[in-house]
Amino acid sequence: MKWVLWIGGGIVGVLVLGVVVLMVLGHRANAGQVHASTEIRASRERVWAWLEDGDKLKQWISWLVEVRADPTQGPGVGAKRVLVMRDENNGGQLMEVQSTCAEYSPPAHIVLKLSSMGAFEGDQTYELVDLGNGRTRLLVNSRYHFTLWLANLMEPLITRLAQKKMDGDVAHLKSLLETVAQ
């Protein structure tokens, strides 16, 4: 019977240690931050179109199944749209992300405020740098704060998965732009 207590105590100790490690990692300086950068053989104007057009967004952002925007509202500061995503890390459940444009300077810079009720809040910045000769550097910087306590605890793992997803999405965008006819 004593060995059962030792094993049970060991299991509880490992679980407590895991929670403590996640809590410490969740408070690091770059917690919730995701970055991607790539050079694309396309003009800033061509790349910009793929950041702004809802149908094009669905082609390169994995999990994105619908983009809802007010058809009477044009692009720019204050523009809102809803991004409907099929969250593959959550059993394929649909998730709505509210997007509001906070800064807008085409074709160079856009900042979006993002939120999903009960899940996260954050911002995403796209910078397009003209490298000359029809080449553009795309820089994407995101910062998220998870509002759900379990997601906040699991932030180190969620951020790692988000980084992997963003890297794949940006690589897919690069591939689409470089293979689509000029």
Place of tokens 């906070």: 102
pLDDT digit string, tens, across residues 113-166: 999 988 899 999 999 999 999 999 999 999 999 887 777 778 888 899 999 999
Give helix 44-52 / helix 155-179 axis angle, nearest 10°. Answer: 130
pLDDT digit string, tens, across residues 35-56: 999 999 999 999 999 999 999 9
pLDDT at position 41? 96
d(CA 104, CA 111): 7
pLDDT digit string, tens, across residues 5-22: 667 666 655 555 555 444
pLDDT digit string, tens, across residues 53-112: 999 999 999 999 999 998 888 899 999 999 999 998 888 999 999 999 999 999 999 999
Other beta carbons within 10 angstroms of residue 25's beta carbon come to 14
Q: Is there a contact between 136 and 40 (Cβ–Cβ < 8 Å)?
A: yes
pLDDT at position 24? 47
